[in-house]
Amino acid sequence: MQGRWEMKRDGEAEYSVHTRRCRNWESYALERETVMESIFNAMFILVPLFIGIIFLVVIGSIIVAIVRGIAEWRNNNAQPLLKVTASVVTKRQHVSGGGNDTSASTHYYTTFETVDDGLRQEFSVSPTEYSSMADGDVGSLTYQGTRFKGFVRQRHAPKPPPLLVAATPVQPDWTCAYCRGRVASVEAKCTSCGSASRQESEQPIPLDS
């Protein structure tokens, strides 16, 4: 009897342990399922919200760019058309796009410096105008506000010929044929010997000497 009672007690204890393990596993599975469901619900709410925020940011950026472009266009139309003499200071290129199977676009910019007041301004130019300019070119710049209208390069004028300086007239230095004394003019006589014979000196003397 005692042996049967011990076997029954051991069986009940083992069944109790097995029951607790099953209950713990069921509780763990239920908690895990609850957590996964909560995560899925949160992602179901957050992902559309995140996509919506990105969409709003992109749309807002496009709207701001359009508004700025219209404001700049109106401001340029209100500015006078100016034509000044300027020189090309520097040129640059800006490449945008070219990623995720999209074509790249290149923008060309040129910086001018006015000759009169040294004011520097950068304008967006076309590829043809960009290639026709070189650093240091001087010409006539036409613009309206921030809008580039054109640039006509000045041709280098030929250098003027050197000025001709008139030579100082000189008169011959006459000397006496006999005593080699100096004679004032061709008609004068020698002051030393009184002879009228004279000859021209090899080194003429300027009139102002």
pLDDT at 196: 61
Map tokens 């995720």 to a residue: 100
Q: What is the pLDDT of residues 172-196, one digit of tens each?
A: 566 666 666 666 665 566 666 666 6
Domain range annotation of the chain = 1-78, 80-153, 169-209
Confidence bin at 6 (pLDDT 50/70/90): low
Contact 124, 109 (CB under 8 A): yes
Kind plus residue range of the DSSP H or E element containing 23:
helix 2-78
Confidence bin at 73 (pLDDT 50/70/90): confident
Gap between the Cα atoms of 44 and 50, Å rounded = 11
Whole-structure pTM value: 0.49
Q: What is the pLDDT of residues 27-49, one digit of tens each?
A: 766 777 777 777 777 777 788 88
Bridge partners of 20, per DSSP, are none
Taking the domain 80-153, which CATH number applies? 2.40.50.660
> What average pLDDT does the chain have?
76
